[in-house]
Chain A
Amino acid sequence: MLERVQSERIQTDCTIIDIRDVTRSYGAFKALDNASLSIGKGEFFSLLGPSGCGKTTLLRMIAGFDTPTSGSIAVDGQPMDGIPANRRPTNMVFQSYAIFPHLNVEQNVAYGLKRLKLQSGEEKRRVEEALEQVSLTGLGKRRATELSGGQRQRVALARALVMRPKVLLLDEPLSALDKKLREQMQVELRRLQQAVGITFVLVTHDQYEALAMSDRIAVMFGGRIAQVASPKEIYQRPVNRQVADFLGGMNFVKAEIVEENDASLVVDTLGFGRVRTDKPKAFVRNGGAATLGIRPERLRVLWDNATAKFEVAGKVVERHYFGEITHLIVEIPGLEKPLSVTETNDFGADDIPVGAPIRLAYDPEALVAMAD
Chain B
Amino acid sequence: MTAIRRYLPSWLSSYAALYILFLYLPVIFLPIFSINTAATPKFPLSGVTLHWYEDLPRTPALIDATWNSLAVGVSAAILSTVFGILAARSITRYRYPGRRTVNGLIMAPLVLPEVIVAISMLLVMLQLGLSLSLFTVVLGHVLVCIPYSMTVLTSGFEGFDRSLEEASADLGESAFGTFRRVTLPMVAPAIISSLLVCFTISLDEFIIAFFLTGTEATLPIYIWGQLRFAAKLPGVLALGTLLLVASFVLMTVAEILRRRAARRTQNQGGLYA
Q: Which residues of A contact B (CB under 8 A)?
A: 63-65, 84-87, 90-92, 94-102, 111-112, 115-116, 144-145, 147-149, 152-153, 159-160, 163, 176-177
Q: Which residues of B contact A (CB under 8 A)?
A: 161, 163-164, 166-174, 177, 181-182, 185-186, 264-265, 267-271, 273
Partner of B174, one of A65, A86, A163: A86
Contact in complex: B172, A102 (CB < 8 Å): no
Q: Is the interface of B mostly helix, strand, loop or mixed?
A: helix
A139 to chain B, nearest CB (A): 15
Q: Can you list 24 contacts pairing A with B, beta carbon distance less than 8 Å?
A: A65-B170, A84-B169, A85-B166, A85-B170, A86-B170, A86-B174, A91-B170, A96-B161, A96-B270, A97-B270, A101-B265, A101-B267, A111-B181, A112-B172, A112-B173, A115-B172, A115-B177, A148-B273, A152-B270, A153-B270, A159-B167, A160-B170, A160-B171, A176-B269
Contact in complex: A144, B268 (CB < 8 Å): yes
B193 to chain A, nearest CB (A): 16
Partner of A147, one of B172, B186, B273: B273
Contact in complex: B169, A115 (CB < 8 Å): no
Residues in A with CB closer than 8 Å to B167 are 92, 94, 98, 100, 159
Partner of B182, one of A63, A91, A100, A149: A100
Contact in complex: A111, B168 (CB < 8 Å): yes
Contact in complex: A176, B182 (CB < 8 Å): no
Contact in complex: A98, B166 (CB < 8 Å): yes
Which of chain B's residues has its CB closest to A173's CB? B270
- Tell whether A96 pairs with B163 under 8 Å between CB atoms, given A115-B177, A149-B270, A176-B273: yes
Q: What is the count of residue pairs linking A and B with beta-carbon distances less than 8 angstroms?
A: 88
Contact in complex: A86, B271 (CB < 8 Å): no
A313 to chain B, nearest CB (A): 50
B186 to chain A, nearest CB (A): 6
Contact in complex: A96, B166 (CB < 8 Å): no
In angstroms, Cα B163 to Cα A97, docked, is 8
Partner of A115, one of B161, B173, B271, B273: B173
In angstroms, Cα B264 to Cα A101, docked, is 6
Which of chain A's residues has its CB closest to B163's CB? A98
Residues in A with CB closer than 8 Å to B265 are 101
Residues in A with CB closer than 8 Å to B168 are 100, 111
Which of chain A's residues has its CB closest to B177's CB? A115
In angstroms, Cα B170 to Cα A176, docked, is 21
Contact in complex: B171, A112 (CB < 8 Å): yes
- Tell whether A163 pairs with B172 under 8 Å between CB atoms, given A85-B166, A96-B163: yes
B168, B172, B173, B265: residue with the most chain A Cβ atoms closer than 10 Å: B172
Partner of B271, one of A65, A96, A111, A144: A96
Residues in B with CB closer than 8 Å to A87 are 172
Contact in complex: A94, B163 (CB < 8 Å): yes
In angstroms, Cα B265 to Cα A145, docked, is 11
Contact in complex: B174, A100 (CB < 8 Å): no
A62 to chain B, nearest CB (A): 11
In angstroms, Cα B167 to Cα A147, docked, is 18
B163 to chain A, nearest CB (A): 4
In angstroms, Cα B178 to Cα A86, docked, is 10
